[in-house]
Amino acid sequence: MLEDTSFAIRPDQGMNEEKNPFQDIGNAKNISKTENEIKISADNGELAVVFYRDDIVRFVFQPLKEVMLDSSPAIVLAPEKSEVKLNDEKNAFRLEAPKLTVLITKTPIRITVMDSQRRVLFEQKEKGIGFKPTGEVICHSTRNHEDHYYGLGEKTGYLDKRGEKLTMWNTDVYAPHNPETDALYQSHPYFMVLRNGAAQGIHFDNTFKSTFDFRSEADVYSFGAEGGIVDFYVMAGPGPKDVLEQYTALTGRAPIPPKWAIGYHQSRYSYESEQEVRELAAIFKEKEIPLDAVYLDIHYMNGYRVFTFDRERFPEPENLVRDLKEQGIRIIPIVDPGVKEDPEYPIYQEGIYGDHFCKYIEGSLYFGDVWPGNSAFPDFTSSKAREWWGEKHKYYTDLGIEGIWNDMNEPSVFNESKTMDLKVMHNNDGNPKTHRELHNVYGLLMGEATYDGMKKQLGGKRPFLLTRSGFSGVQRYAAVWTGDNRSFWEHLQLSIPMVMNLGLSGIPFAGPDVGGFAHDSNGELLARWSQVGAFTPYFRNHSAIGTLRQEPWSFGEKYEQIIKKYIELRYQWLPQLYTLFAEAWQKGLPVMRPLMLEYPEDENTFNLSDQFMLGNNIIVAPIMQPSAEHRAVYLPEGEWVDYWTDEVYAGGNHHLVHAPLEVLPIFIKKGTVIALGEVRHSTAAADSKRILHYYYQPDSTSTFKMYDDDGTTFAYESGEYCLKTFEIKAMNREISLKISTEGRYEPEWQEVDIILHDAPELTTVDVNGEMKNVEKNTEKTCTIHL
């Protein structure tokens, strides 16, 4: 047996290169094969190749030992049967699966992965896989000068990560959204490579602190980690959307959110009393500004003890929750992981008696200083502890609460290292591992505990969970907000590529604190940010203690009117957004998309970081500079129509557009449809109408889908939904429409209007073979009532 040296020396012991040399995997010695799994023993360890699907292959290299095929909690896919042929050639092993070919040279071992078109997805030449005596592991791949890199979760900087070196280590950095900030709250050791219009994905399934190096000088990129093994999946694409389908098959998809979770949310650190929350709701009502949720930050608790209310400030939380829900407003309390060390506090008692808290290997508890003071931390790597924590949420669900906000779950601790002692030994269901190894999955597992617990208690209703920390797969449980940004224009700008890359990392439900968290916001910034917020998947205004108030009316009438208009617009656009959330659930595609996802061959889109798409036919190009009323907008091929004015723009061009403070530039692609509804004060209000806008394009056929369901239960998973498909044929002087419906859900809305934009003068339109009258509205639009 090979000797295990991986724990002998730690990377933090500062070994130099000479004493800690890089060791290559070495030469192949033996090969063995079962159905879809190949194992090759090498000079310095063992390599396994496992075909998960025809288009997903996994490589696992274990230095100095035999391979164990464990996975991180990111992975939900089990290997499906895939036919693999093994050819033992003179210099290499060739593995042929229906959509992938893997070539592994023997002396030394170097891996090449190709798709069925012989397109190279991954390739090693000089440098391959290796490790260091200190336990670090690394994997190289050749890079092409055409490569662009996306994904990698929550990172600052521009959209394309080419030229960057990025670290995955969940960290609470206060007000951190600066280009030089690397490690943030979430870790997604996954990226997509775009090369000549085609794409492939790599997921590095290692939970240790990991690094991705795309700095462009050499012809190689690499990913590696401080410990563990080299374990990565290659996803074949060939389109960027295919990669997302593959990646979310591997790590899971986001469930469709409850409708109320995609309305407008108002938060503040903190609304400190029941009275204050009621008054807040009353102002929204009086001003007729739509609202679906109010957040309770840490001051609602009794001495920051989770699962309690401060009974002086919140004497009757049950009544508060009920009364607000009657107005269509949900209450979302914050829940941090730290449990106050207090022998008279039942949660602490239960945690101790039930053995649910994190401990050192010798058996003593770990304590860290957080909001409640000295605190113990649930060990979410233990399924028993997760179950317990989940059950505790009955405290909230019994009060009528349906949404929870998880913060500080990196976990963040008020000490120099900002987190738990890395020597803490997590239980990990009988496979103990240090915090150094499992730090990055702490938030993900807290999310699992919380979501699963709430789901059981809500009697079939969809829970809503918001999380700050996470790891690949967090989309299965939670929406993600990007943490403590600041009320800076630069942070508004940075939020766009950040949320787009979260979307390219499988997380469709994300958004920043609108208006900015730290520092004082101002009317112009809040107005522009609310315009963007209306179109980001998650829309919450949140601000820090001690900063200027930031509710929509905080900066005077002029700004209030603009902010209100865009919150109303959000509600009008909910049917369109909801259809996109359903697509995210089905295919893993993001709601908010970079243009490169739709136009991967158009190099103008590769690093376009200040405009975004909703789905495949809408471009939003916000103004994100103070005192600016103009900006350049790039519109890709096709023709694009200004949402506000119906002006037509030629694609494949940059345009200078005029957008005074009350205007957010929005463009719809000609020949397509958007589905809107009416302004409502909350998603709880009646939803009686759909208004479809068709942007006429002569001599074209287009198909458009609109999704709906009850918005509250999981019945959609078993066919209780309504998917309407519209097929539109536009001839020169005729339009015909075929509408078909799939699914068993009978929607609340019965009335459907179709507004034709820029269509020729028609008196009738053929709808499913019946001639319907057309009513002229303006120069540019007319309406059909279905």
Q: Tell the smallest beta-carbon distance from residue 409 to ligand MIG (Å).
A: 10
Among the listed residues 493, 619, 537, 514, the one whose alpha carbon sits nearest the alpha carbon of residue 156: 493
DSSP symbols for 165-185 = EEEE-----SS--STT----S
Active-site pick, 379, 484, 513, 639? 484
Q: Which residue is nearest to ligand MIG (CB)?
A: 269
What residues between 316 and 355 interact with ligand MIG by CB under 6 A? Answer: 334
Measured distance CA(585)–CA(723) in Å, rounded? 14
Are 51 and 36 within 8 A, CB to CB?
Answer: yes
Whether 288 is catalytic: no
**273 or 609: whose CB is closer to ligand MIG?**
273
Q: Tell the smallest beta-carbon distance from residue 338 to ligand MIG (Å).
A: 11
CA distances from 186 to 174, 482, 491, 690 (A): 14, 9, 18, 38
**468 or 491: whose CB is closer to ligand MIG?**
468
Return the residue of 136, 226, 242, 407 that touches ligand MIG, per CB under 6 A.
407
Are 444 and 474 within 8 A, CB to CB?
Answer: yes
Q: Does 410 bind ligand MIG (CB under 6 A)?
A: no
**101 or 170: whose CB is closer to ligand MIG?**
170
Return the residue of 63, 108, 463, 483 that touches ligand MIG, per CB under 6 A.
483
Residues in CB range of 125: below 8 A, 6 or more apart: 110, 142, 220
Q: Take residue 111 and report the two structure tokens written for it.
A: 């891996």
Q: Tell the smallest beta-carbon distance from residue 407 to ligand MIG (Å).
A: 5
Measured distance CA(85)–CA(106) in Å, rounded? 17
Whether 154 is catalytic: no
**171 or 200: whose CB is closer to ligand MIG?**
171
Is the previous residue joined to 238 through a cis bond, with omega within 30 degrees of 0?
Answer: yes
Measured distance CA(537)–CA(354) in Å, rounded? 39
Q: Tell the smallest beta-carbon distance from residue 417 to ligand MIG (Å).
A: 16
Q: Tell the smallest beta-carbon distance from residue 264 to ligand MIG (Å).
A: 17
Q: Tell the smallest beta-carbon distance from residue 335 to ligand MIG (Å).
A: 10
Helix (H, G, I), strand (E, B) or coil at 368: strand
Phi, psi of 261, rounded to the nearest 5 degrees: -75, -15
Q: Does 269 bind ligand MIG (CB under 6 A)?
A: yes
**298 or 358: whose CB is closer to ligand MIG?**
298
Are 474 and 445 within 8 A, CB to CB?
Answer: no
- What mask of x and - would describe binding to ligand MIG in positions 441 to 480, judged by CB under 6 A? ---------------------------x------------
Residues in CB range of 633: below 8 A, 6 or more apart: 611, 619, 621, 654, 655, 656, 657, 665, 667
Active-site pick, 46, 205, 297, 410? 410
Q: Tell the smallest beta-carbon distance from residue 303 to ligand MIG (Å).
A: 14
DSSP label of 4: -
Residues in CB range of 781: below 8 A, 6 or more apart: 646, 755, 756, 757, 758
CA distances from 51 to 59, 192, 242, 370 (A): 9, 19, 17, 44
Q: Does 298 bind ligand MIG (CB under 6 A)?
A: yes
Block residue for tokens 């050749």: 142
Measured distance CA(251)–CA(243) in Å, rounded? 12
SS3 per-residue string spanning 197-251:
CEEEEEEECCCCCEEEECCCCCCEEEEEECCCCEEEEEECCCCHHHHHHHHHHHH
Q: Does 498 bind ligand MIG (CB under 6 A)?
A: no
Q: Tell the smallest beta-carbon distance from residue 182 to ligand MIG (Å).
A: 18
**195 or 330: whose CB is closer to ligand MIG?**
330
Return the residue of 484, 551, 568, 687 that touches ligand MIG, per CB under 6 A.
484
**210 or 375: whose CB is closer to ligand MIG?**
375
**208 or 367: whose CB is closer to ligand MIG?**
367
Q: Tell the smallest beta-carbon distance from residue 710 to ligand MIG (Å).
A: 31
**How many residues sit in the footprint of ligand MIG (CB under 6 A)?**
11
Whether 4 is catalytic: no
Q: Does 511 bind ligand MIG (CB under 6 A)?
A: no
Active-site pick, 407, 452, 709, 758? 407
- What mask of x and - would describe binding to ligand MIG in positions 526 to 555, judged by CB under 6 A? ----------------x-------------
- What mask of x and - would describe binding to ligand MIG in positions 278 to 297, judged by CB under 6 A? -------------------x
**298 or 613: whose CB is closer to ligand MIG?**
298
Active-site residue numbers? 407, 410, 484
By CB under 6 A, name the binding residues for ligand MIG: 269, 297-298, 334, 407-408, 468, 483-484, 517, 542
